[in-house]
Structure 1
Amino acid sequence: MSSIPVIDFRKYGLHIEKADSIPRQDLKELGDQMCEALQNIGFFERSIGNVKKFFSQPLEEKEKCAKPDEGYDGWIGLEKEKLNLERPVGDYKETYNITQICEVWPTNIPEFETVLMDFLRKCIELALRVFDFISVGLNLEDKNFFRNCHKLIGQRGNVTALN
């Protein structure tokens, strides 16, 4: 596939207040498109302006938001995480983890918390809706199958994170 497919979520977007009001056929159409994209592409990516602001700051500013050893939320610097255990050093990346109970925020970017928490909530709601039409796209009888499997998403004790 030479390009990333565009899937029009308007029929099941976040502007629709009652998710149950969407006809099953519309879910089927979205489910088929999403399953096709997941099979051929496998990922979706977005960038956020506030994240760019945060990561473009000097190291001293980012360190003020460092993830505590006992916590999950906050900034994690270069080579602090090691996702590939076969590499001798940590990953050459930095990240900023947030959960719905995040308490570590930069004070010099006032809109950072509001924007990212809103984005996280919308991602969770969109993920739940994506689960619905993937269920239908897979011809499962219960359109809520995957939604029910992930009903703790975003709840305390379930580390759903945006990073």
Structure 2
Amino acid sequence: MKQTAQILRIRLILALVTTLLVYVEGFSQKNIKVDENTQQAIFPKGKQGPAENFTGKAFNYGLLDNDSTYNTVIGNVLFEPGARSNWHKHPAGQILIITAGEGFHQIKGKPIEKMRKGDVVKCPPNVEHWHGATPDSSLHQMYIIPNTGKGIVEWLQPVTDKEYNAFK
């Protein structure tokens, strides 16, 4: 009787462990893009950006603060899936370098463009634009804002769901 009870307990424990492993594997497969992008990140997550400038969660990590020698700001933004910036513009323009994930970028009046790891995007001076992650992937982007003596950023209105979902 004792051996039968022990065998049943061992089988129950094995069944529970197997169920747990199947659940964990299924969970990680559903979230693989976000996990891979997070594992590929070369900079820390940073501080969450203010809700008045972003839809969803975006995190900024500054790499080079503005100073009178370089007149340049450099940082990294992590956009969680579906997160995006408001429309905004930079007096001297902006350069984006995509380091992981997938995202969207749009210059006012032009179609949305998809961005992927390795892409470099130029945002012209004083031109309204936005950028952010796709619905299914996080996005890691380095940003470079040159000639900061002209100013850094002017935040504008949020990107509507209709604008965000217009990618074809």
Larger Rg: 2
